[in-house]
Amino acid sequence: MIKNISNLQAKLQELIITQKNLPTQGHVADYIPALAEVSPKLMGISVATIDGNVIGAGDYQIPFSIQSISKVFGLVMAMNRIGDDLWQRVNMEPSGQPFNSIIQLEWEKGIPRNPVINAGALLISDVLTSRFSASKLAFLSFMRSLAGDDNIYIDNHVYQSELSHGSRNAALAYLMKSFGNIDAEIPDVLSHYFTQCSISMNCQQLATSLLFLANKGIDPKTQKVICTPRDAHRVNAILSTSGMYDQSGEFAFSVGLPAKSGVGGGVIAIVPGYGVICTWSPPLNKFGNSVAGTKLVSGLAEELGLSIYH
Ligand code: GLU
């Protein structure tokens, strides 16, 4: 562990320079057309520690579409709202399938494998839509309060783009409804889901806002209880087994941190007892994970000896 923060800052800078000098690998997501408009060259990293340091390098202050990273926050909100009833409607197993796969959902009678694949996040969106009078606003407020920044916004261009290319997500939601596992109207569930995916945040804001997961559920900035220690443990466990989609096994094998990626190119990794790493680089590999973003996390984790399995 690098204790001296200026040494860590220098290390982040070095990792970014090394990655930026490598040829670009992967492709920016284009199944949501608005995401394809982002430059593949942008790249950032930020580290927030529970003892109050927040540092970064590269494009760490440029907002990007958080996409599936929003699933972490939605999960916490749903756990807080309905408690253990949630686990009657969604499982906690890795899927071994692509993030937007529909096949398994039919076999398993409309119960998603876990809350961080698309089917699971749509289920969570149903819980939030049904249990909050204004779920989108509640979600945005939650993000703003965790990041301590009221400027965090929903990117309407990305939202519209997702809405008009959301047939597969609609199919997942309708399939779950056919099994009786969705309560609200499907257009409302989709609208909530696309809204949370369309939130724009930068690496620094994301790293800061997730510190509670590195600190047994307590936000170290405000001392507020965001979730119980048991739920922080559960979220981290799900991120360890399923957060990097069907590359989660390899990520656990080689890095060993609870993590979540999004098709906007962001990756967050939780280091319990220490802090949060957030990286961003839009080009994705075939699993939907940022190529350079994943390498930045693994490079830093290796350098600092960060792994929950040590
Ligand atoms: N909004 C994206 C989708 O539903 C999120 C996927 C992701 O980031 O992995 O396809």
pLDDT for 172 = 98
Task: Give the distance (Å) from ligand 1 centre to CA of residue 261.
Answer: 10
Measured from the Cα of 69, ligand 1's closest atom is 8
Measured from the Cα of 162, ligand 1's closest atom is 1
Task: Give the distance (Å) from ligand 1 centre to CA of residue 70.
Answer: 9
Concerning whether 245 is annotated as a catalytic residue, the answer is yes
pLDDT for 2 = 61
pLDDT for 5 = 87
Q: Please report, in tens digits, the pLDDT of each residue of the chain (310 residues total).
A: 566 888 999 999 999 999 999 999 999 999 999 999 999 999 999 999 999 999 999 999 999 999 999 999 999 999 999 999 999 999 999 998 898 999 999 999 999 999 999 999 999 999 999 999 999 999 999 999 999 999 999 999 999 999 999 999 999 999 999 999 999 999 999 999 999 999 999 999 999 999 999 999 999 999 999 999 999 999 999 999 999 999 999 999 999 999 999 999 999 999 999 999 999 999 999 999 999 999 999 999 999 999 999 8
Concerning whether 127 is annotated as a catalytic residue, the answer is no
pLDDT for 4 = 81
Measured from the Cα of 245, ligand 1's closest atom is 9
Map out the domains of the chain with their CATH numbers. Answer: 8-304 (3.40.710.10)
CB-based contact 190:166 (threshold 8 Å) = yes
Give the SS3 label for residue 9: helix
CB-based contact 258:213 (threshold 8 Å) = yes
Ligand 1 pocket mutation pick from 66, 68, 189 by most atoms within 8 angstroms of CB: 68
Task: Give the distance (Å) from ligand 1 centre to CA of residue 92.
Answer: 19
Ligand 1 pocket mutation pick from 160, 197, 198, 287 by most atoms within 8 angstroms of CB: 197
Place of tokens 């309708």: 174
pLDDT for 6 = 86
Name the active-site residue from 28, 76, 263, 297.
263
Contacts of 117 (CB under 8 A, 6+ apart): 95, 97, 99, 100, 101, 242, 245
Pocket of ligand 1 (CB under 6 A): 67-68, 99-100, 118, 162, 169, 197, 262-263, 288
**Helix intervals (H) in 35-117:** 70-82, 103-107
Q: Is 305 left (phi over 0), alpha (psi -120 to 50) or beta?
A: left
Measured from the Cα of 169, ligand 1's closest atom is 4
Concerning whether 174 is annotated as a catalytic residue, the answer is no
